[in-house]
Structure formats: structure tokens, C-alpha cells
Chains A and B, each alone.
Chain A
């Protein structure tokens, strides 16, 4: 986690850049004067309570909601369909219909549909690409299994493989740990770090769980309609920032990876 502080860079290399962005939802300001940047090879965590504008912020970044004021740059351009193809998006775990008749491979192939374009069907090469992604997340053995019978953690891996299939430069993850157990969560964040280190893929990761974010992100932004802090993870645990973001009645649970790996060992032993 000891990475240089890209925040201080003033050059033009940010892949996501928000300058004084304001956004409204039903007449109410949900985002106020947001300045934010994410650089290549960086995991940026955004923490905030429910209703703090996290999902709106992601939608603004992807160009799904235009800001009232301010500018958004995605890979140096205005967010549009073309630049969205370079983003792999994982929505909040939906209550995915477990009876939906698709295999794991089918789901990953969907990640290629956007690049294939209209009227073109996935071919042998698409299947190879999809299988490669499944290898990366250790799910290749499950390719032909129905998606619905997988565990939450396995489904999340498949979602990542789908997001990676379009070869994105940026992953956007909305509460990726919802509904998966702590061991699977730890594996999941290791995977993100692996993609960052080996392929330079950046990630913007949104969560209400401040403990998880601080132990896995390179930089953290604390959001509650406005950004109260943007910087190194360690300092966002300061009580003043927390009070501003979450209010007074809030307790932080710091997640300890060592503990998770020992519980994993127990599993292997038994």
C-alpha cells in the first residue's frame, strides 16, 4: 500500500477528473462542489453513509447523469458511450435471479457484447477471451455451470471477469462486498490489487464500510454530498472527518487481513 501520492501530480494524466461538479436529484443537491481525481494504477475508495451521493457520483463519472455544473473528464474526454467501453462496471450486487438460464461463460461473454456491436454474435475468439478472464479470477473450471448455483463470492468473481472482458482501463465498483463473506471479500480485494499491479488497471470503489476501504484503497475520499477528505487512507479514520461524514454515533471496525488468512488456514486444515 506504500505507493507514491498521485494526488499531488498536476499533469494531465488523470483518468477520471471532476472539477467543481454539482448534481441534483429530485430538486435536492446530492453532490456539491466535488473535486476528485483518479490516476492510472490507483485504487480510489469512496466512503460515505447511505444517501451520501455515492452512486450518483459513479453515475456522473460514467456520464449516465449529466452534472448541473462543473466538468467531468473520463480518460481526458467528456464521458460518452465510447469512453464507457473502457470502463468495467460492477453494480451493487443485485438480487440476481438465480433461475436465469445462463452459464458462467454466457455471463462473461456479455462483457464483450458492447465491443462486438449490433448484429454480431460472439465467436470462437470471444469465447477464448472470456475463458482467459475466467482463468484470471480462478473460475475457469466453472465455465459451463449455471450461474445461479454459484455462491455470492463466486458470482462476484464472474462479474469481475465480465467487467474485465472488455479490456477496461478502469473498474468501477459499487459496494462490491455486499452479500459475500469475509474470506471471499479478502480474496476479492487481493484480486483488485493484482490487476492494479500486473496490468495497471485502476479502480474506483464505493462503500459505506470505512474499515474495508481504508485497508484496501491507495487513496480515499470521504463523501457526504461534499467531499470532506481526499488523501491517504490512514488519515481518513480521524474522528473529526468521521463525524462530518457519518455523524456522531459511529464506530469503526478495522478489518484485519491477518485474521482472515488464519481463518482460511483453519478451513484448509479441516
Chain B
């Protein structure tokens, strides 16, 4: 007997998308935690809102405009803070509220109330189409593959920026690369967890994994495990308890984090 949950097309889509995204976000989360990019993750996610609204205004795919917006904003933040004129958190604070404000203006201008605003902000698994699955597979695959290729450079820069630079690594390029794949990952995750909550999945899996191990291969594995359990488990719970999927996933991820935190404390 196959339970009902697996017979429903939208749940099949949600599980497939959730599984793929957990792996992508878990790997990005590893770098977000080590590079202390949590707040920039929040900023990028919110700036995607401006992109979604622009897509609605222009009548083109919100995913494409959101990617352009998020990549542009994240790189602008990276550029401005690397020039040392503004601190990163000031730059993030300005850019993400600007992007949100533009989003509200675009939606006002478009007068098309057909756009599912709540769905974009908090996630809507009913809205995941076959088309979305393909773009998650392609873009998520691109993120994972390029991270795999540049892994040792990204690790070196995260550990010791100055020496990495002297050893011939293109530190600035690697920064912008990381911000760009972070933005891509955020945008493809919006439908399942929403703009407001996606940043949680950029932080919690890596943070939980870090409580459990001091070796990076194990940390990446643990991060993927936490992310998968939270996403798949969250989808199950949200289906049977009839509550919002994004919020359930993030709550479950937080519970796993506190569990990992306790285990880390006890072992020390």
C-alpha cells in the first residue's frame, strides 16, 4: 500500500524539489557558516523579492528576474564592502531594504493581483511545477558542480584569506563566485520555503554540523543530513498536521540544531 502522500503529484514534486534543494543549501551553508555570511544570506533572500515583483510587472518569469536581482545585489554588497568604504552589514542593511521597497513599488505598478505574494514570501509547495523541478535540477547541479571544482580554493580563502591571496588565489573572484552561487541557491529555494525563511536553511544545517565535528568532510556530510531530515521530515509533518511547509521545515531544522548543540556541549 502506498500512502496517499506519495500519490499526490504536488507532494511528489515537493519531495523531489526538497531533496535536491537540501543538498545544495547544505553545501552552501557550510561556507555561509565558515565565512560568517549569515546576514548577507538574509539580505540576498529579501532582495529576491524585488526581482520577483519586477518579473510580475514585466510579465516575464519571476525566477529569471529574481536571479538577476539577487546576483546583482549580492555582488554589489560584496564590491562595496571589499572597497572598505562601508562595512558589510551597513551595505546589506541598505541594499536589502531598497530591494524590498522596489518590490512593493513594482507590485503596486503592475496592478496584477494575480501574483501569489504570500506564496513567494512564505513558500507554496502547491505551486511547484515540473518546470520548476527542471530548473532546480539544472541550476542546483550547476552550483554543486562549480563548488566541487573550486572547493580547495574556497576552503583556503575561508580559512586564511591573506595567505590564500599571497599563494596566488584570486580572492576577489572567489568572493563574487560564492555570493553568486549563494544567490542562485536562494532563488531556486523560494517556492518551497519562501523568501522570509530561506535564509534559515543557509545557516542552520552548517551551524548544526559544526557542533558535531571538527573535520570538514564530515561537517559537509552532517550538514547535508540535517538539511535532508529537516526538509523531508518537515514536508511530512506539514502534510499530516496541515500547517505551512516552509515554517515546519525551518522549525524542525532549528530543533535539530539545538539537539546538535546539546550533543556538542556534552561531548566537550
Contacts and interface: CB of A to CB of B under 8 A. Distances in A.
Interface in B113-172: 149-150, 152-153, 155-156, 158-160, 162-169
B216 interface: yes
B166 A118 contact: no
Nearest to A100: B159
A89 B163 contact: yes
Contacts of B152: 110, 113, 116, 121-122
Contact of A148 (B150, B165, B168, B214): B214
Contact of B153 (A85, A101, A102, A118): A118
Contacts of B163: 89-91, 110, 162
Contact of A113 (B149, B158, B169, B216): B169
Contact of A99 (B166, B169, B210): B210
Nearest to B209: A101
Contact of A110 (B34, B149, B150, B159): B159
B167 A166 contact: yes
B195 interface: no
Contact of A85 (B165, B168, B218): B168
Contacts of A99: 210, 214
Q: Interface extent on B, as a size class?
A: 20 to 34
A90 B163 CA distance: 7
Q: Interface extent on A, as a size class?
A: 20 to 34
Nearest to A116: B152
Interface in A81-110: 81, 84-85, 87, 89-91, 94, 96-97, 99-103, 106-107, 110
Interface string B158-192: 11101111111100000000000000000000000
A60 interface: no
Interface string A116-152: 1011011000000000000000000000001011000
B166 A84 contact: yes
A111 B167 contact: yes
A76 B196 CA distance: 56
A232 to B, nearest CB: 30
Contacts of B150: 118
Contacts of A116: 152
A257 interface: no
Interface of A: 62, 64, 81, 84-85, 87, 89-91, 94, 96-97, 99-103, 106-107, 110-111, 113-114, 116, 118-119, 121-122, 146, 148-149, 162, 166
Interface of B: 34, 149-150, 152-153, 155-156, 158-160, 162-169, 210, 213-216, 218-219
Query: Which 6 pairs from chain A and chain B are nearest by CB?
Result: A114-B167, A146-B214, A101-B216, A89-B166, A114-B168, A91-B162
